[in-house]
A and B are shown apart, each in its own frame.
Chain A
């Protein structure tokens, strides 16, 4: 158990819909990262927050947004869903701002299926 909690574990929805994925980082970790793993692709970085502020942005679509709340949990909002958004979405946390300060601790992922 990494200490990172993601909900829901599985989600099935239709095209055009909007979903919210939730992540609670390990106790004491200030950084939260979101990654997407699509079929036959590696982990693609989406976005990072540190203590409530956005720190880094990857190839995140404009239809996607995220935020980190004062209690440090984070939400990833996916809207106008398309079939290609079906993927496993991972949240990870780390102590500091930079990934170099230590390893990332991953949640178990949220598997999104868009029909």
Chain B
């Protein structure tokens, strides 16, 4: 059974604070790590797809890093804004997984940014 763990479960920050979350996944047979942003009453939207150890990706104030050897990824938000309030999901795929192309999702980190 794949275990994708995200921490913290929830986070409340003030506008302007920088924050980061963690996604832990099995380090063996890694293939890809995805980050999604899920706003209330909307559908999840992809932020990053990362495949290489040491990958760093950035989109505006949001960035992510990947360590496949130790099995973790960090998502950073610089200068949080109220519109960043959402649940951030990471999802993991194994290499050569015989059961196909599923992405296994973590339960997410719920971020609330207070004005």
Contacts and interface: CB of A to CB of B under 8 A. Distances in A.
Tell whether A and B belong to one assembly: yes
A100 B49 contact: yes
Nearest to A42: B107
Interface in B65-115: 89, 91, 93, 99-108
Contacts of A43: 44, 89, 91, 105
B59 interface: no
A56 B102 contact: yes
B101 A56 contact: yes
Interface string B22-37: 0000000001101010
A86 B100 CA distance: 26
Interface in B40-77: 42-46, 49, 51
Interface residues of B, number: 24
A84 to B, nearest CB: 18
Interface stretch (A61-69, A73-81, A101-109): A101-109
Contact of A99 (B34, B45, B107): B34
A29 B102 CA distance: 16
A91 to B, nearest CB: 9
Contacts of A42: 89, 105-108
Contacts of B104: 45
A56 B99 contact: yes
A48 B106 contact: no
Contact of B32 (A31, A41, A48, A99): A99
Interface of A: 2, 4, 31, 33, 35, 41-45, 48, 50, 55-58, 90, 97-100, 102-109
Interface of B: 31-32, 34, 36, 42-46, 49, 51, 89, 91, 93, 99-108
Given A99-B101, A100-B49, 15 more contacts: A2-B43, A42-B106, A43-B44, A48-B100, A50-B101, A55-B101, A56-B99, A56-B100, A57-B99, A58-B99, A103-B36, A103-B49, A105-B46, A108-B43, A109-B43
